Amino acid sequence: MGVNNVNTEAVMAFAADVQRDPEVAKKRKRVEGEWVLEEGQPQFRARVDYPAGAEVIEADGAPFMGGGGRKPDPLQYCLYGLASCFAGTFATLAAMEGVTLTKLIVAAENRVDLSRTLGLSSNPIVEGVEITVTVSADAPREKLEEIERLARERCPGVYCLTNPIPLTTHLLIE
Protein backbone atom coordinates (compact mmCIF):
# COMPACT_ATOMS: atom_id res chain seq x y z
CA MET A 1 0.00 0.00 0.00
CA GLY A 2 2.67 2.50 0.92
CA VAL A 3 3.47 4.29 4.15
CA ASN A 4 1.09 5.39 6.94
CA ASN A 5 -1.92 3.68 5.33
CA VAL A 6 -1.43 5.95 2.29
CA ASN A 7 -1.19 4.48 -1.20
CA THR A 8 1.82 6.57 -2.23
CA GLU A 9 1.87 5.04 -5.73
CA ALA A 10 -1.68 6.29 -6.31
CA VAL A 11 -0.74 9.77 -5.05
CA MET A 12 2.31 9.91 -7.33
CA ALA A 13 0.26 8.68 -10.32
CA PHE A 14 -2.42 11.31 -9.64
CA ALA A 15 0.23 14.05 -9.32
CA ALA A 16 1.72 12.96 -12.66
CA ASP A 17 -1.75 13.04 -14.28
CA VAL A 18 -2.34 16.54 -12.90
CA GLN A 19 1.03 17.71 -14.21
CA ARG A 20 0.02 16.51 -17.69
CA ASP A 21 -3.50 17.94 -17.44
CA PRO A 22 -4.33 20.37 -14.60
CA GLU A 23 -8.07 19.83 -15.18
CA VAL A 24 -7.68 16.34 -13.67
CA ALA A 25 -7.14 18.01 -10.26
CA LYS A 26 -10.64 19.51 -10.31
CA LYS A 27 -13.20 17.38 -8.49
CA ARG A 28 -16.79 17.94 -7.45
CA LYS A 29 -18.19 16.80 -4.08
CA ARG A 30 -21.88 16.75 -3.17
CA VAL A 31 -23.93 15.86 -0.14
CA GLU A 32 -27.73 16.01 -0.32
CA GLY A 33 -29.80 15.39 2.74
CA GLU A 34 -33.29 15.81 4.06
CA TRP A 35 -34.69 17.42 7.20
CA VAL A 36 -36.55 14.71 9.13
CA LEU A 37 -40.00 15.90 10.16
CA GLU A 38 -40.84 12.86 12.32
CA GLU A 39 -40.70 13.63 16.05
CA GLY A 40 -38.17 11.70 18.09
CA GLN A 41 -35.77 11.17 15.19
CA PRO A 42 -32.44 12.85 14.39
CA GLN A 43 -33.26 16.05 12.51
CA PHE A 44 -31.17 15.59 9.35
CA ARG A 45 -30.21 12.59 7.26
CA ALA A 46 -28.05 12.26 4.16
CA ARG A 47 -26.83 9.37 2.08
CA VAL A 48 -23.19 9.95 1.23
CA ASP A 49 -21.81 7.97 -1.70
CA TYR A 50 -18.09 7.25 -2.02
CA PRO A 51 -16.01 5.06 -4.35
CA ALA A 52 -16.35 1.87 -2.25
CA GLY A 53 -19.96 2.31 -1.09
CA ALA A 54 -22.36 4.62 0.71
CA GLU A 55 -23.31 5.60 4.26
CA VAL A 56 -26.34 7.23 5.79
CA ILE A 57 -25.18 9.98 8.11
CA GLU A 58 -27.50 11.63 10.61
CA ALA A 59 -27.21 14.87 12.57
CA ASP A 60 -29.27 16.30 15.37
CA GLY A 61 -29.23 19.66 17.03
CA ALA A 62 -28.33 20.13 20.65
CA PRO A 63 -31.37 20.12 22.96
CA PHE A 64 -30.90 23.83 23.76
CA MET A 65 -31.25 24.55 20.01
CA GLY A 66 -34.41 22.46 19.58
CA GLY A 67 -32.86 19.12 18.72
CA GLY A 68 -32.79 15.92 20.68
CA GLY A 69 -29.01 15.52 20.98
CA ARG A 70 -29.41 12.00 19.49
CA LYS A 71 -26.55 12.33 16.99
CA PRO A 72 -23.57 14.65 16.47
CA ASP A 73 -24.59 18.21 15.67
CA PRO A 74 -23.70 19.92 12.37
CA LEU A 75 -20.73 21.81 13.81
CA GLN A 76 -19.27 18.55 15.14
CA TYR A 77 -19.41 17.19 11.58
CA CYS A 78 -17.61 20.31 10.37
CA LEU A 79 -14.90 19.72 12.98
CA TYR A 80 -14.77 16.02 12.07
CA GLY A 81 -14.27 16.98 8.42
CA LEU A 82 -11.53 19.42 9.35
CA ALA A 83 -9.75 16.95 11.67
CA SER A 84 -9.93 14.05 9.21
CA CYS A 85 -8.86 16.24 6.29
CA PHE A 86 -5.91 17.64 8.24
CA ALA A 87 -4.91 14.16 9.43
CA GLY A 88 -5.11 12.82 5.88
CA THR A 89 -3.04 15.70 4.54
CA PHE A 90 -0.45 15.30 7.31
CA ALA A 91 -0.22 11.50 6.90
CA THR A 92 0.07 11.78 3.12
CA LEU A 93 2.77 14.46 3.27
CA ALA A 94 4.68 12.36 5.81
CA ALA A 95 4.33 9.26 3.62
CA MET A 96 5.53 11.10 0.53
CA GLU A 97 8.58 12.23 2.55
CA GLY A 98 9.22 8.65 3.70
CA VAL A 99 8.33 9.47 7.32
CA THR A 100 6.69 6.53 9.09
CA LEU A 101 4.15 7.59 11.69
CA THR A 102 3.58 5.48 14.79
CA LYS A 103 0.81 7.73 16.11
CA LEU A 104 -1.24 10.56 14.66
CA ILE A 105 -4.08 12.13 16.61
CA VAL A 106 -5.74 15.30 15.37
CA ALA A 107 -8.18 17.28 17.52
CA ALA A 108 -10.24 20.12 16.06
CA GLU A 109 -12.04 22.45 18.42
CA ASN A 110 -14.02 25.64 18.02
CA ARG A 111 -15.55 28.30 20.19
CA VAL A 112 -19.00 29.47 19.17
CA ASP A 113 -21.32 32.28 20.19
CA LEU A 114 -24.86 31.29 19.19
CA SER A 115 -26.41 34.68 20.00
CA ARG A 116 -26.30 35.62 16.28
CA THR A 117 -27.98 32.32 15.34
CA LEU A 118 -30.79 33.27 17.72
CA GLY A 119 -31.09 36.72 16.10
CA LEU A 120 -29.91 38.42 19.29
CA SER A 121 -26.61 39.92 18.11
CA SER A 122 -24.33 40.41 15.14
CA ASN A 123 -21.39 38.76 16.92
CA PRO A 124 -19.28 36.33 14.91
CA ILE A 125 -20.74 32.84 15.33
CA VAL A 126 -17.40 31.05 15.35
CA GLU A 127 -14.84 32.84 17.49
CA GLY A 128 -11.94 30.61 16.56
CA VAL A 129 -10.82 27.12 15.58
CA GLU A 130 -7.83 25.21 16.92
CA ILE A 131 -6.15 22.09 15.60
CA THR A 132 -3.92 20.09 17.90
CA VAL A 133 -1.70 17.42 16.36
CA THR A 134 -0.18 14.67 18.49
CA VAL A 135 2.39 12.71 16.51
CA SER A 136 5.05 10.08 17.01
CA ALA A 137 7.34 9.25 14.11
CA ASP A 138 10.78 8.18 13.00
CA ALA A 139 11.73 11.76 12.15
CA PRO A 140 13.32 14.74 13.88
CA ARG A 141 11.14 17.50 15.32
CA GLU A 142 12.13 19.92 12.55
CA LYS A 143 10.86 17.52 9.87
CA LEU A 144 7.54 17.03 11.68
CA GLU A 145 7.18 20.80 12.09
CA GLU A 146 7.75 21.21 8.34
CA ILE A 147 5.11 18.56 7.58
CA GLU A 148 2.68 20.32 9.94
CA ARG A 149 3.35 23.67 8.22
CA LEU A 150 2.78 22.13 4.79
CA ALA A 151 -0.40 20.41 6.00
CA ARG A 152 -1.69 23.81 7.19
CA GLU A 153 -0.92 25.27 3.73
CA ARG A 154 -2.30 22.39 1.66
CA CYS A 155 -5.24 20.93 3.61
CA PRO A 156 -8.55 21.58 1.79
CA GLY A 157 -10.40 21.81 5.13
CA VAL A 158 -8.02 24.47 6.42
CA TYR A 159 -8.35 26.33 3.12
CA CYS A 160 -12.15 26.40 3.49
CA LEU A 161 -11.80 28.03 6.91
CA THR A 162 -9.10 30.54 6.07
CA ASN A 163 -10.08 31.82 2.61
CA PRO A 164 -13.24 33.51 1.38
CA ILE A 165 -15.09 31.08 -0.88
CA PRO A 166 -18.01 32.23 -3.03
CA LEU A 167 -21.31 30.82 -1.76
CA THR A 168 -24.44 30.61 -3.84
CA THR A 169 -27.75 29.38 -2.46
CA HIS A 170 -30.71 28.25 -4.56
CA LEU A 171 -34.28 28.02 -3.25
CA LEU A 172 -36.40 25.46 -5.09
CA ILE A 173 -40.08 25.54 -4.12
CA GLU A 174 -42.23 22.50 -4.92
- Among 137, 130, 75, which residue's Cα sits nearest to residue 107? 130
pLDDT bucket at 35, cuts 50 / 70 / 90: very high
Cα separation, 33 vs 46, whole angstroms: 4
> In the chain, what are the domains?
73-162 (3.30.300.20)
**For residue 133, is pLDDT > 80?**
yes
**What pLDDT is recorded for position 1?**
67
**What pLDDT is recorded for position 2?**
82
